[in-house]
Amino acid sequence: MTISESQNIVDNWIKEFGVRYFSELTNMALLTEEVGELARIIARKYGDQSFKSGENPDGMADEMADILFVLICLANQTGINLTEALEKNLEKKTNRDSKRHFENKKL
Whether this prediction's pTM lies above 0.75 is answered by: yes
Q: Counting beta carbons within 10 angstroms of the beta carbon of residue 1, is it exposed (0 to 12), middle (13 to 18) or buried (19 or more)? A: exposed
Tens-place pLDDT, residues 22-46: 999 999 999 999 999 999 999 999 9
- What 3 state SS string does 65-78 have? HHHHHHHHHHHHHH
3-state helix, strand, coil in the chain (%, to 5): 70, 0, 30
Structure confidence by residue, pLDDT tens digits, 59-104: 999 999 999 999 999 999 999 999 999 999 999 999 998 888 888 8
Question: Residue 91 has what pLDDT?
Answer: 97
CB count in 10 Å sphere of residue 70 = 22
pLDDT, position 21? 98
Whole-number pLDDT of residue 15: 96
DSSP 15: I
Architecture of domain 3-81: Orthogonal Bundle (1.10)
